[in-house]
Structure 1
């Protein structure tokens, strides 16, 4: 399950217990599905009773805006519970990091970058003269795996970072709290450095690359999003994609980089992105690959993108299962929401696939 311990437990204990409590406490008076909300009929391959239970629980989460569940390429359930439609691009917050990692994968496939490339020569004058000499050791892979060693700019440091006049220079000037290639240090600044590296290496904006290498072959929209004071597109936050676009993104990865008959990413890249580098979040216990979180759900390996507030893409290749959930990105004061989404996966959606297999 999506917790530090990988053993299955009942709803009475652990992370799932806390999540189940939050689900049970959801008001039945929550806002009903928006007018015109889409819902497909259930398809074979998922246990209808368990899926129905998950839908009922999901409908009572006031922060949840949409949910899509697909099995073996077939949409089994989709609904916009509230808020924008399933085709409206929404802020996916830090799930942007996973999309950005895929842009980097496409750049590597095209020979524009290598995982082993050191970033300082690519960035050139963007590296401040005052930066610690260890910046010279940071590679593209270190950025993707959150192992750059630099003090994170997320959490309590985020505000100072985005208020700075030069985001790339500020992130590169942070003190080293570990060596490059050391422990995982989750940081939006690290992802933003990757955006700058992509721009410097290709001579094209991150937006242009994302549209050309991902949006066009997936036949989805990626609207423009915010940029730093130097014009570098925000790497790691604020991207917008619709729930259905996120489903195509997740399905492409489930299919080893293929979208229909179109090769979007090499299969070897997807395998590498889903290989844990050994880094583990001290807050959740989850491991990390190249832009993807890695854990288990109901005993099955799950790879997921995770954005603040509950912007989720779950991919379980062993079950041919992909699920997307989007939530209010600006909600405050709602505790346990992401844990409740994990519980939906652990206790209803994944078991529905196991029983329907």
Structure 2
């Protein structure tokens, strides 16, 4: 396979890294600088998809109740709130960003920055009013992710990073990483991980291989499939649908409307150009990382603009 055209296309974008694996083999590897493969870097909201994997592992182990369980089981103040709808929020609503909180991640209310400046992040999230009935609309919300991280730590009886070491990172051979914590010591559920590009690829390969790694099953096939199944329409200007802290989309021009096309791929996405794409039908995993968004922001969809056409030619 000739990747010369891709190299020429991404050269002006100043990407930090681009890795493409097909049928379990690394077929393309680009780094802006020789040191990058050995440097952990922020993956931002890709952290959410890692949290989703850990949540599935905990469900597999029976540490967590069914996703339809009310979140008030872990946060009793939701059931006691003056707005009775808060008692209807479930773990599944948190996973699909559809809890209904009046939340603007950036801009407007600047909910996310305000949370990170609060002395107690979980309390900040729980105090936010509802703008919609739970389950009716997606509103991107890293506070929901922080709630899920707190739930996982409580259910597992250990810090989230320790649970990851034992059941995800350790088996995948991910040894060099960093993970931020909130003021109460809860690992950040919506951001805060720093990973190597090669370790991001390992995580994507785990999903491409249906939860198996070196003949060991880390995630059950059924829960993995459930976690990446489109659950709710993504809020504009985003395309496609949202699953359990994963995005899903189609190669079709429009993924919107009441009858969207079946998703061709799903992906983890982090601010500033951090992506892990899984394309099951083509047995392909793509990792993209960037760090120049403040000065020369690359196109928002390098995958669809430059990589998807190559994949289409491989069919």
What is the TM-score with the length of structure 2 in the denominator?
Answer: 0.89
Runs of at least 5 residues in structure 2 that lack an aligned partner in the other structure: 254-262
Matched position secondary structure for 1:215:
helix
| 2: CA distance, partners of 1:265 / 1:161 | 31
Matches within 5 A, 1:51-66: 51-62=3-14, 64-66=15-17
| 2: CA distance, partners of 1:235 / 1:292 | 13
How far has the Cα of 1:61 moved from its partner?
0.9
RMSD between aligned residues: 2.1
Corresponding position of 2:306 = 344
How far has the Cα of 1:52 moved from its partner?
1.8
| 2: CA distance, partners of 1:166 / 1:186 | 20
Runs of at least 5 residues in structure 1 that lack an aligned partner in the other structure: 1-46
Matched position secondary structure for 1:290:
coil
| 2: CA distance, partners of 1:333 / 1:307 | 17
CA 1:231 to 1:308, structure 2 compared with 1: closer, same or farther past 3 Å?
A: same
Corresponding position of 1:35 = none
Matches within 5 A, 1:16-95: 47-48=1-2, 51-62=3-14, 64-82=15-33, 84-95=35-46
Matched position secondary structure for 2:300:
helix
Matches within 5 A, 1:306-317: 306-317=269-280
CA 1:84 to 1:135, structure 2 compared with 1: closer, same or farther past 3 Å?
A: farther
Alignment check: 8 A CA contact 1:96 1:238 kept: yes
In the alignment, is residue 334 of structure 1 matched against residue 286 of structure 2? no
Alignment check: 8 A CA contact 1:93 1:237 kept: yes
CA 1:153 to 1:131, structure 2 compared with 1: closer, same or farther past 3 Å?
A: farther
What is the TM-score with the length of structure 1 in the denominator?
Answer: 0.79
How far has the Cα of 1:186 moved from its partner?
0.9
Cα deviation 1:31-56 (Å, max 9, x = unaligned): xxxxxxxxxxxxxxxx31xx221122
In the alignment, is residue 237 of structure 1 matched against residue 199 of structure 2? no
The structure with the largest alpha-carbon Rg is 1
Q: 1:138 aligns with which of 89, 92, 98?
A: 89
Matched position secondary structure for 1:347:
helix
Corresponding position of 1:103 = 54
How far has the Cα of 1:316 moved from its partner?
0.5
| 2: CA distance, partners of 1:309 / 1:77 | 22
Corresponding position of 1:319 = 282
CA 1:98 to 1:229, structure 2 compared with 1: closer, same or farther past 3 Å?
A: same
Matches within 5 A, 1:128-207: 132-152=83-103, 154-156=105-107, 157=110, 158-207=112-161
| 2: CA distance, partners of 1:153 / 1:104 | 25
Matched position secondary structure for 1:69:
strand
